Structure 1
């Protein structure tokens, strides 16, 4: 691609259909402030790692990425790709199947990373693995999935944070608050510097160290949005007698 050529639009028919169905409602319930949106790559593969404290977070991130011209992909359970209709929707929108159990578990990140690079996708991975357990909705301790994916694929890892989503759908809530209309702010950060870890055989300690860099970047962005400092120590569910569940 030459300098004067525009990146090819990712807004294919399936994403336009999803936008047609979701955007009117999402604009009804909230207005969106996008800060430093230029830091989201306009083309090429990358991993996006946002904070996570509401079940509606993926939809909010999807709306913002649509506005910025990139289409979100998520790692989805391979079993979902066997469900009629849903399977078609997942494949048509480029979602990535991942086995979560058994002997395939360790090889799946490699396969997903290859797909990410081959198709030049933007993949959203929540490094916390689940909704934060931190009492005040700050990012908690992260898992290594996002870092592993970025390192395996050798692509940038972009941190992001949003604030205001909890007003639309509080943590663990089952219903959306429609009125009054809420405000959601989303801020993107510079790529996390993982150069010290690329091309190396990494153990648990190195992956934890790299993951903490990501969580620090996300917490810093959240702090900017909230106008208050993030806790000095990341919330750890295992130290607070909470069962930890999560995705890749």
Structure 2
């Protein structure tokens, strides 16, 4: 059976959702095309947000080939699973190789998943426009694939950066699939990326407005955005933390 590993992982993820009692609400799944090439572009706030982004696609009978950093593929267990699910490794030093693999997948009519923010956003809102990569727009323009924004909120409460994790049952997780972005005449990757960024910002803000479990005391809630009075880092603080983490990772790879 094709994609047996992927389907087994999906079954494990669904079992995990049940064990944790997650209250997952997926909205707008019908907007994701049921056939043909699709680029899914999602916000990034958790180590496991690919599970809920992928869940929205499975509701349309699709499997997402996520682009993920090379280190995930280098680890013995996760690497075997990632290769078995035909995800796409991204090595920062050889980004063109990953782009070629993504283009090939799209030309085969597959769904490719990208996080335009590249790394997990510690502010738990979409990063500033300057920090968003153009890869999703480039792939969509190069192949004619539908560019579908997908926003989610709440899964970072389960497992995210900074050693933050929780097994608390009943956490609400909301997922919103947006309308596909159709390139305008003469539009380049930069302009399309700007529209993608704006769409994700608007969608995340909507999910925050309608989130069913807002904190009773926002100022003490590490997972609630600073822009709404929460204890999460403000956007500029989160950018500094991201840079510090990147430098530590680079130093670890080079042994310095």
State if a TM-score over 0.5 links the two structures. yes
Q: In the alignment, what sits opposite 2:215?
A: none
Taking structure 1 as reference, are residues 186 and 110 closer, same or farther at Cα in structure 2, changes over 3 Å only? Answer: same
Structure 2 unaligned spans of 5+? 211-224, 228-233, 247-256
Give, in whole Å, the separation in 1 of the partners of 2:162 and 2:186.
38
- Pairing of 1:148-227 with structure 2 (within 5 A): 148-169=138-159, 171-174=160-163, 176-197=165-186, 206-227=188-209
Kindly indicate whether the alpha-carbon contact (under 8 Å) linking 1:11 and 1:71 is maintained by their aligned counterparts in 2. no
**1:146 matches 2:128:** no
> Taking structure 2 as the reference length, what is the TM-score of the superposition?
0.72
Give, in whole Å, the separation in 2 of the partners of 1:78 and 1:138.
23
SS across alignment from 2:13: helix
- Pairing of 1:1-248 with structure 2 (within 5 A): 12-29=3-20, 30-77=22-69, 88-101=80-93, 104-106=94-96, 108-118=98-108, 120-133=109-122, 135=123, 137-141=125-129, 142-169=132-159, 171-174=160-163, 176-197=165-186, 206-227=188-209, 241=240, 243-244=242-243
Give, in whole Å, the separation in 2 of the partners of 1:241 and 1:73.
30
Once the two structures are TM-superposed, the CA of residue 85 in structure 1 deviates from its matched residue by: 6.2
For these two proteins, the number of residue pairs brought into alignment is 220
> Taking structure 1 as the reference length, what is the TM-score of the superposition?
0.74
Once the two structures are TM-superposed, the CA of residue 123 in structure 1 deviates from its matched residue by: 1.1
Give, in whole Å, the separation in 2 of the partners of 1:185 and 1:37.
12
Kindly indicate whether the alpha-carbon contact (under 8 Å) linking 2:88 and 2:101 is maintained by their aligned counterparts in 1. no
Cα deviation 1:170-228 (Å, max 9, x = unaligned) = x4143531223111111111111323346xxxxxxx53332111010111111221228
Give, in whole Å, the separation in 2 of the partners of 1:144 and 1:41.
22
- Higher helix proportion, which one? 2
Structure 1 unaligned spans of 5+? 1-9, 199-205
Taking structure 1 as reference, are residues 117 and 28 closer, same or farther at Cα in structure 2, changes over 3 Å only? Answer: same
